[in-house]
């Protein structure tokens, strides 16, 4: 299958309504480099459904890559980071969300890159100033907080999240509140119940 045909197939899978496990199984049968190239392109797609399916697929695809070739997976992570750099010439649509999904699905990548996700909140770090990117970052932090809250706490996420509660952007505020609630719930006896409350509020 040619590169163009693979991209067309990947986009069709993401745009469809098949359950994600079935989509991932179909993607696994395609050449991984071409799948990743198509997923990167889909992160910038105008169709919201397709973009979010690309985010959801990126995590398992990169995790499977990391199990076979960790350095190749690191290259993908660095590419996502680079897309958020002003010098990249792009905006980095979907990159914080995709990074978070990768960290959710692979422990080693999470250990290596969780601090980068946190640094996107820091003005002395890799601060993301554009509100739409902050929306994605808050979503990503909340997503990672669902699965690896202690790791985020160890990277001092709780120090930087509260400032986003004062954001003029309501989506950013809601995302920050959800991430904070999930992180705080992880240390309380009723953590699971609090996490469900946070999910409803989002």
Non-local CB neighbours of 87 within 8 Å, separated by 6+ positions: none
pLDDT (mean) for 157-184: 96
- Please indicate whether residue 193 or residue 166 has the higher confidence score (pLDDT): 166
Mean model confidence pLDDT for the chain = 89
Q: Are residues 40 and 140 in the same domain?
A: no
- Please indicate whether residue 134 or residue 199 has the higher confidence score (pLDDT): 134
DSSP string, 22-65: HHHHHHHTS-HHHHHHHHHHHTT-S-HHHHHHHHHHHHHHHHHH
What local confidence, expressed as pLDDT, does residue 87 receive? Answer: 62
Q: Are residues 8 and 45 in the same domain?
A: yes
pLDDT (mean) for 138-158: 96
The separation between the first and the last C-alpha atoms of the chain, rounded to the nearest angstrom, is 41
Q: Are residues 80 and 126 in the same domain?
A: no
Q: Are residues 70 and 143 in the same domain?
A: no
Tens of pLDDT, residues 87-141: 655 678 899 999 999 999 999 999 999 999 999 999 888 899 999 999 999 999 9
Domain end position, chosen among 85, 115, 145:
115
Tens of pLDDT, residues 32-65: 999 999 999 999 888 899 999 999 999 999 999 9
The C-alpha atoms of residue 14 and residue 158 are separated, in whole angstroms, by 34
Domain end position, chosen among 66, 92, 115:
115
Q: Are residues 76 and 164 in the same domain?
A: no
Number of separate domains in the chain: 2
What local confidence, expressed as pLDDT, does residue 201 receive? Answer: 32
Q: Are residues 189 and 150 in the same domain?
A: yes
Helix axes 107-119, 131-147, angle to 10 degrees: 140
Q: Are residues 56 and 75 in the same domain?
A: yes
Domain end position, chosen among 115, 141, 168:
115
Which domain range does residue 167 map to?
A: 120-202
What local confidence, expressed as pLDDT, does residue 86 receive? Answer: 66
């Amino acid at each position: 299958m040619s590169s163009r045909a693979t991209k067309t197939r990947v986009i069709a899978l993401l745009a469809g309504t098949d359950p994600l496990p079935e989509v991932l199984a179909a993607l696994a049968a395609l050449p991984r480099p071409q799948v990743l190239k198509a997923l990167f392109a889909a992160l910038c797609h105008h169709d919201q459904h397709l973009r979010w399916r690309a985010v959801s697929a990126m995590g398992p695809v990169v995790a499977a890559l990391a199990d076979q070739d960790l350095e190749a997976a690191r290259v993908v992570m660095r590419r996502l980071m680079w897309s958020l750099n002003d010098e990249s010439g792009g905006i980095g649509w979907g990159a914080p969300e995709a990074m978070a999904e990768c960290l959710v699905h692979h422990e080693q990548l999470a250990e290596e890159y969780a601090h980068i996700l946190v640094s996107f909140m820091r003005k002395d770090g890799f601060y993301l100033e554009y509100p739409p990117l902050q929306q994605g970052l808050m979503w990503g932090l909340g997503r990672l907080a669902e699965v690896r809250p202690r790791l985020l706490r160890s990277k001092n996420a709780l120090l930087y999240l509260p400032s986003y509660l004062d954001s003029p952007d309501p989506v950013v505020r809601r995302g920050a509140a959800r991430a904070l609630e999930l992180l705080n719930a992880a240390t309380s006896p009723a953590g699971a119940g609090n996490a469900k409350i946070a999910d409803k509020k989002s």
